[in-house]
Structure 1
């Protein structure tokens, strides 16, 4: 099969699973949360990926638990523990070569956790970051990707989005962006979309008309 070629004005990247492999760290954090409250960690992990932490805590925390305080605890633990996270292959090199006015990171993590994780694996910090703190409706709602595109001066329909999780894929598609699946998720949200294993498969060239994205 030949390469896929997409055109765009801007590129929008999810973080966890797309730029940063934080799976082990996230699983440990939810495991600690589950153990504290007598919950089943596997049930939480089945739906947590790509969603704001506070939404997941609210869904699973037993009655009487302070959802905000519990979310803050999980967040603090993850900021303090960057062991076990790594760059998705090719992410740092790809972003380092892009015009900072032409890309953004759009994540369900908080701003503090995002900057910590990106810095920890050597990925350049974006000029535009839309994090959990910045939205009133998180993924799978389209608001995060719409806000990021607007902050760069474009509409989401002018963007190519790179995402790995169902909530993010649904968000990007609902926003009207061309969407690329990163990794091995094969559920309904990925149906019909181009797919790459990691960022080593992405080449971007720029000219006066915009960006050309080639997926190997």
Structure 2
């Protein structure tokens, strides 16, 4: 796969970074909670902080976690088919502006759902998608971002990670990559640059990818 100019690469998180799926996630978890007779708001607050299996252990310890996960997956797949999705402002311009082979998606979701959401929002799909099934260790482990870099033929130091969440930021930093945060009023701890919105970050990301900007990532504190 051919890399971008001068070996610059951009690795994107998906939910919360390129796709605005917050209301979808809340709706899915709300429906899941109703099926188990649980308080939807309480379940969602736990789900925001933990991975699904950890969420089940906290809110439905008396239930079979495999059954809980199967129900969640069923609801998430249905949401991809029938839910309303929106890409963040600037996402389409950004992804269409990047050279093929110079960018990838790194998500804690599953590839078929990402493809479904990108189809619904008319976003281009890259050749490399590292999803939850591709790695044994998810974010905040560095493994997902390192796997994406390897698939692109990139060195970690040539990669820019775009993230919105603390676990993803830690993952990128631990992989030895430059990490910029987007779509948050307050910067996530450790990011090298922060943008309140993806739209604000677009010209800077494109400049990095085309080597129009010289950027050396300082060591995270």
CA–CA separation in structure 2 for the residues paired with 1:61 and 1:155: 42
* Structure of higher RCO (CA pairs closer than 8 Å, 6+ residues apart): 1
Q: CA RMSD in A?
A: 2.6
* SS at 1:105 equivalent: strand
Calculate the TM-score normalised by the size of structure 1.
Answer: 0.82
Structure 2 unaligned blocks of 5 or more? 1-5, 216-221
Matches within 5 A, 1:62-101: 62-65=61-64, 66-83=67-84, 85-101=85-101
Q: Which residue of 1 aligns with 2:153?
A: 153
CA–CA separation in structure 2 for the residues paired with 1:97 and 1:20: 17
Q: 1:153 to 1:106 in 2, by over 3 A?
A: same
Instruction: List per-residue Cα deviations over 1:142-186 (Å, max 9, x = no partner).
Output: 111110111100132321101001111111111111111111163
Structure 1 unaligned blocks of 5 or more? 1-6
Runs ≥4 in structure 1, deviation > 6 angstroms? none
Q: Which residue of 1 aligns with 2:195?
A: 196
Q: 1:135 to 1:184 in 2, by over 3 A?
A: same
CA–CA separation in structure 2 for the residues paired with 1:127 and 1:142: 20
CA–CA separation in structure 2 for the residues paired with 1:213 and 1:73: 45
Q: Decide whether the 8 Å contact of 1:53 with 1:109 is kept in 2.
A: no
Matches within 5 A, 1:23-38: 23-38=22-37
Q: 1:70 to 1:179 in 2, by over 3 A?
A: same
Q: 1:192 to 1:120 in 2, by over 3 A?
A: closer
Q: Decide whether the 8 Å contact of 1:166 with 1:190 is kept in 2.
A: yes
CA–CA separation in structure 2 for the residues paired with 1:41 and 1:8: 46
Q: Decide whether the 8 Å contact of 1:18 with 1:88 is kept in 2.
A: yes
1:118 offset after TM fit, Å?
Answer: 1.2
Q: Decide whether the 8 Å contact of 1:52 with 1:109 is kept in 2.
A: no
Q: Which residue of 2 aligns with 1:110?
A: 110
1:140 offset after TM fit, Å?
Answer: 1.3
CA–CA separation in structure 1 for the residues paired with 2:111 and 2:183: 24
Calculate the TM-score normalised by the size of structure 2.
Answer: 0.80
Higher strand share: 1
